[in-house]
Structure 1
């Protein structure tokens, strides 16, 4: 069985409105929410074997904070430019490349691609909020085979949800 946590980046800062979107850092709220949400995963005993992130600053920072809180080696986070504003199809193609030796993968990135991916895999959500997490399990031993046919809802969590 494979497990996936789709993890939208924490709240980004708009203090510098003309900053290139790719370079946008986390806002104070994002810097507060990211470790809190990582600690919720820790409390549920959900730890990654593999972490994949968009290389946009806000997604990368969320991944780094999560890695630190879950004691995942930061140097093992796989950064991928293709995940920046990627479509559901492109995200799924990246997930299919995860080595099968990993059973629990976290992917950090952006909407609307993440909302589309969740729906394409059979999940239900209006909008995955910033720092939101949506988990699926897949009844397969191979990442290349993950699909709606073998996907099951695992959990959903986000900063304003009562835990």
Structure 2
């Protein structure tokens, strides 16, 4: 079985309008929610075998909270094609993961993550808010076997749902 945990980056700041979107940092709410969601995730899943992240500033900052909470020391891949990506780009990244990895965290952006979850599950019509977590299990032995409606939702959690 393969386990995919999708993490939408925490809330980012629009304070400095001179910054490119890629360079926007987390705002205060993001800095508050990300570590709390990392703690919640730590109670629900084992340490990942691999983390893949968009290289944007806000995803890297979000990633740091999860790395710290899980005391993660394994490989991190910063994948440019996750940033502003359609779900098909993200799906290709997932399908190319080495089969030796069983638990993978992927940190990215909407609408790509939402569209990916809708593709992998049948009728997922929720919006994944900032700091949202989605865990999908796949009854396959290789990531390249993942296809439309092949996933099983284990959980979907986000800060407002948990009164954070």
Q: CA deviation at 1:162?
A: 2.5
Structure 1 residues 7-46: aligned runs within 5 Å: 7-46=7-46
Does the Cα contact within 8 Å between 2:53 and 2:77 map onto a contact in 1? Answer: yes
CA contact (8 A) 2:10 2:30 kept: yes
Equivalent pair of 1:33/1:131 in contact (CA under 8 Å): yes
| Unmatched tracts of structure 1, length 5 or more | none
Q: CA offset at residue 99 of structure 1? A: 1.3
Name the CA distance, whole Å, in 2 between partners of 1:116 and 1:45. Answer: 23
Offset, 1:17: 1.5
Q: Deviations over 1:65-89 (max 9, x none)?
A: 111111112x721101110011110
* 2:50 aligned residue: 50
Matches within 5 A, 1:58-73: 58-73=58-73
* TM-score relative to the length of structure 2: 0.93
Counterpart position of 1:156:
156
2 CA distance for matches of 1:5 and 1:88?
Answer: 15
- Aligned residue pairs, count: 162
* 2:87 alignment partner in structure 1: 88
Deviation at 1:41, TM superposition (A): 1.0
Query: Counterparts in 2 of 1:64-143, with a 5 A limit?
Result: 64-73=64-73, 76-123=75-122, 124-143=124-143
> Normalising to structure 1: TM-score of the pair?
0.94
SS in 1 for 2:69: helix
Instruction: Quickly say closer, same or farther: Cα 1:45–1:136, change in 2 above 3 A.
Output: closer
Query: Stretches of 4+ moved more than 4 A in 1?
Result: none
Aligned-residue CA RMSD (Å): 1.4
